[in-house]
Amino acid sequence: MELKRNLAATAITLMIIALLILAGPAKAIDVSLTTQNIDVSTDAEKDFTADITINSGEFLPILYTNITFDDGTNQITCKIDKEDNVSGCDFLSVKSRSTDNLYLGQDYGYGYGYNSNNSLGYHDFGYGYGYGNGDKGILDQSDSGTITYILTINSSKMPGSFMGNTIDISAKVYGGTDENYNYFKGTSNFQVNSTPVNTAIDPSIQTNISYNGIELEIPAGSLPGDATTLTMHQVKASGNPSSSTLKILGKTYSFDIDSATKAFSGPIRITFTYTDDELNLAGITDENDILPSFYTDPDWEQLTVISRDLENNKITFETTHFTEFTLLADTSTSTSGTSSTGGGDSTLFSSVSNAAEEISEKIVPEFKYPSCKTNNDCNQGEECKYIFDEYYRKCVKADIKETANVDISNNAEPIQGIGAPSNSITGFAIVPEAIKKNPIAAFIVGIIALTSVTGAYLFLRKRE
């Protein structure tokens, strides 16, 4: 009986060791973000820091870094390539990149035993249960080296949906090759607000005022004679349009004057500027579908457009009173996009098993079922579920979950350092990834485990 227990314990131990080997090495990169709150009235620009700490002995080329901003309704992903160029958003730029205790080569990153450097950083796949160390990376014997990005946010180009919200921000650093990659992630958040700005005015003379990307042209004599101060600031919209085909595009501004009457003697002109990011979020492809509007509780009323400058994303209108003003997007004539910006390639899956493996590796970011924007895009009787990655939103049929025991949640993310979605795939997520990384080691471990279990079974049968 004691022998049976020992053999069973040995078999279980070997299986655990095999799984640990297949799981791969520990995390090699730490990503941290340092952010600050933004007041758009006083902060034309705001810097934040992304520190990428590369642990001792690690090296693998960094492909790119994705910075994703989430305001609770929309997601925008800004992609930073190895040359520090930013794509996917208008409001973010790289101010500087510096290194500490790292070889100043073309690439930085982590390495899981890759052994030869070329223009990409490696070409031979020499996974060895430990960490590789090439001729780039940590300079001395200290614990780590660091790449530090100083990133700048232009507050006037931020999407209007950021106003009054806490913005969740994540940095995902991708390393490896286009065919075999992983990422490491850091997160933070910041708040966006606006303090009122007071400007002295003289109603008897023409006044031109600029504020946070908007322009006011106030003709002489148009405002009440007792007005001395104009107050303006960017605000969170008081409400959404009642029409389902209209949505707020960009920013909302509130204006007021310190006059007892508030009544205008003539119209004034206001010019709003919008961004390409805001067009994408609203799903607008034709800028003639943008409508200036003012708020009168409980809805928005449209104003007449005086001029459109499509090249510079500007629209001018007139008003004879002050309140909240914004731009509305008429989506009834536009092809609506998703509320997540970015880009990526897609490949069809041939089986549910492949789907589970590809989700875990995040190499082929598409399912065999068609993409959808809403539940209505699925066939009748099917349930659509949204999943997010660093690029875009997709949907999958509910029967994938039931067939493959795959639980896809709205914000499923791969486990850092492994690549499998947290709590999203049951039973077979890590093994395919490890087998792909090291088929020989996986084969040997499999033989050892199979031999041990088979031997234990035959021995016990013989004893019985």
pLDDT attached to residue 288: 95
pLDDT attached to residue 120: 35
Residues of the chain with CATH 2.60.220.30: 197-330
pLDDT attached to residue 440: 57
Residues of the chain with CATH 2.60.40.10: 27-193
Could you report the per-residue pLDDT of 228-238, keeping only the tens digit for each? 999 999 999 99
Could you report the per-residue pLDDT of 104-131, keeping only the tens digit for each? 444 444 334 333 333 333 333 333 333 3
Could you report the per-residue pLDDT of 6-59, keeping only the tens digit for each? 666 666 666 666 655 555 445 567 899 999 999 999 999 999 999 988 876 565
pLDDT attached to residue 58: 61
pLDDT attached to residue 114: 37
pLDDT attached to residue 291: 96
Instruction: For domain 27-193, give the fold.
Output: Immunoglobulin-like (2.60.40)
pLDDT attached to residue 433: 43
pLDDT attached to residue 101: 78
| Domain 197-330 in this protein, CATH class | mainly beta
**297, 324 in Cβ contact below 8 A?**
no
Regions of the chain with pLDDT less than 50: 24-25, 104-139, 336-434, 436-437
